[in-house]
Structure 1
Amino acid sequence: MPIIRVTDEFNLSLPVPFVNVDVAKDNRLFLDPSAIRVAGRNGDRYAQRAHQQLVDFFTEIITCARSSKPADQRRGLSMLQRLHEPNETRLGYSINGSRGHAFADEMGERLWETIRTNRTLMSGTGPTLNVQTAVLSRLEHLPLFIDRIDRDMISDMATRIVFDVLRDFTFDMIAAYPSIGASMATDTYPIWDAVSGDLVEKSLDLPVAQGKPLLLVPTNWIFWRTVMDPDQFYNRYATRTIQDEQTTYASDGKASKPSKELIKKNNKAVKETNVRQATKYADQHDRNLVLEYEQEIDANHEPMTLDEIDRKLQ
């Protein structure tokens, strides 16, 4: 099948400020909440708004998960189940509808039960436990701790939560490149509403490419994996803290450290080790390892270059 990029579909010249996806198939790049967070810190006004919506949404999910009220429990589950796979960005593994509402119901229920019972939700630093100080407090933290939560699922969920921001970005791109708006389609989508703290159904117009609605995505919002990576957290924080714990000191102060190889051999389950160490250090040391990792990313993350994006899309 020939590659049909956005620029091909609408006869545009390069470069463009959005991901130049193949509009006819899936593109194995992923919307990432951490990339959005970093973009917002660097002044991207769309990203600032999107990041706030991601924080507000997941804060509401955790609030519902901690609540003893049946109505809150039902609402939290319902919110996750409505984050079914978006096809409009052409990002991720599948745009053929095979992971639609039934898949979202099943995965939403599994994710809800995992979040609701996850020990890291009940571990926080400081004298007052709240959502802001919890170890697992944002959508982008999920892959660090929970099995089968990967880049594709996080991308799908994040896209649904910031759908209206992407729609506004797309309309601004239509203003700059009018050919994108030559054909439009109207449909109803679940949109995050900050006032009600829930997803509400709204009718939106979107441009059409190859017969399907299209959302454009800023180039600095994507990555080829989750930016907050479970293996990186395991290597830099979880196993390093175990190494610190097992270090002994001779009478002359000389340190004897176990090797990282030995520690990894004795702690093979990456996400299980991440949970254990993150929880332990929050509970016993008043130290939030996840926040430290997040701050490291905020200081060092570099968006993909246009050349890197193009190579991934080929």
Structure 2
Amino acid sequence: MNISEYYSLAYQQSKLDFVDIRLNTDNLLFVDPRLIEFLDTPLAKQMQKHLEIFWGELLKNVKQKSFTQADYLLSGLSEPNETRLGYAFSKDYGNSVGSKLRQRMAVTIYNNIAVKTGVLSHFADIELYFEDIGSDRISDITTKIIKSVLIDYTQEQCKIHKIPMKTFVQKDIFDIKTLKWVTRKVELPEYFGKPIIFVPKNIVRLENTAGKNVSCFYRFAIRQFVSNDTEMLKDISPTGKDGQILIRDVKSKYPLSKESLTNWTLHFGELLVDYKTDHLNGRLKTLSDDEIMEIIYDDGYSDVG
């Protein structure tokens, strides 16, 4: 049972702006802050503003060792079930930000060199440097921070498609003016008494994209920076013809690790900027309707990107 079926809409995914989620099970799609950052739309800009304000306030408090306030900010990042994205129905796989994870994240932020030096200033970059941050957790955290924007978006879509709404009490809505988590009564569509929040289809990604982003950044760093640094090549044993150092030799010497990515970003001042402007720009794409439909209408997506 998808949204379009339950509400007897005239359209399915290709004609809808939001993800036509299945309502009784997981939808293995994940909100991607990188897409939000790169999209040039009024809606994406609203979302990005929320992410920047939250992330900036969190970094400020952690740097100032105001861990009580930092923990308060992290306390609102429980797993959102209203979107039905990710592992909302699979309790064994859910990734809410519990008390232990909140403490670990705060300590990680405080101790991370990329944070201390100001290199990690954008929320979307945390997957490149933070351990234990994958598609599901990034999606959950992002969704909670932009929840107020998604609620407004859902209400607009309901008006467009004449979908009925009911009043629900929604907790943990981040208010960018007060920097507080607030509780509000809001109008939302419902499914068997449970509220539903719609997600724009142009901000979701597949589950394995987070790992690909890290490996893509790693390959870019190796090819464009590490392999051209004579100091870093000194102790590498070449396997190429006539003593030529090959890319595989460099990778063998410097295997993928987020610690290495952090150190390289500090060593090569333009690495992250060049990656995002020269490499990602033009390559970062939203999912096609076909890719989304394989997940929300079919049983799996083993053959999808």
TM-score interval, smaller chain: 0.7 to 0.9
Which of 24, 42, 47 is equivalent to 1:45? Answer: 42
Which of 132, 135, 152 is equivalent to 2:119? Answer: 135
Deviations 1:8-37 (A, max 9, x none): 111112221111111111111110111112
Instruction: Say yes or no: does 1:309 pair with 2:303.
Output: no
- 1:276 partner letter: N
Deviations 1:253-312 (A, max 9, x none): xxx86222112112224212211101222xxxxx24223222242443221111111113
Could you say if the C-alpha distance between residues 47 and 257 of structure 1 is closer, same or farther in structure 2, counting changes exceeding 3 Å? farther
Deviation at 1:96, TM superposition (A): 5.0
Distance 1:271 1:122 in 2: 16
**Mean Cα deviation higher: 21-30 or 189-198:** 189-198
- Could you tell me whether the CA contact under 8 Å between 1:188 and 1:201 is conserved in 2? yes
Could you say if the C-alpha distance between residues 257 and 192 of structure 1 is closer, same or farther in structure 2, counting changes exceeding 3 Å? farther
Distance 1:168 1:245 in 2: 49
- Could you tell me whether the CA contact under 8 Å between 1:135 and 1:288 is conserved in 2? no
Distance 2:110 2:89 in 1: 30
Instruction: Say yes or no: does 1:93 pair with 2:87.
Output: yes
Structure 2 gaps, min length 5? 235-242, 299-305
Deviations 1:141-191 (A, max 9, x none): 11101111001100000000000100001000111111x32x524123212
Q: Match for residue 239 of structure 2?
A: none
What TM-score comes out, normalization by structure 2 length?
Answer: 0.85
Aligned residues: 282
Output the aligned Cα RMSD. Answer: 2.4
Q: Which SS does the other structure have where 1:195 is aligned?
A: coil
Deviation at 1:56, TM superposition (A): 1.0
Deviation at 1:199, TM superposition (A): 2.6
1:103-142 aligned at under 5 Å gives the runs 104-123=98-117, 134-142=118-126
- Could you tell me whether the CA contact under 8 Å between 1:84 and 1:99 is conserved in 2? no
Deviations 1:199-252 (A, max 9, x none): 33333232112442111111111111239811111111256422111368xxxx
Q: Match for residue 76 of structure 1?
A: 70
Q: Match for residue 284 of structure 1?
A: none
- 1:289 partner letter: L
- 2:104 partner letter: R
Q: Which SS does the other structure have where 1:13 is aligned?
A: coil
Q: Match for residue 65 of structure 1?
A: 62
Q: Match for residue 240 of structure 2?
A: none
1:151-300 aligned at under 5 Å gives the runs 151-178=135-162, 180-181=163-164, 183-224=165-206, 225-226=209-210, 229-238=213-222, 240-246=224-230, 258-281=245-268, 287-295=269-277, 296-300=279-283
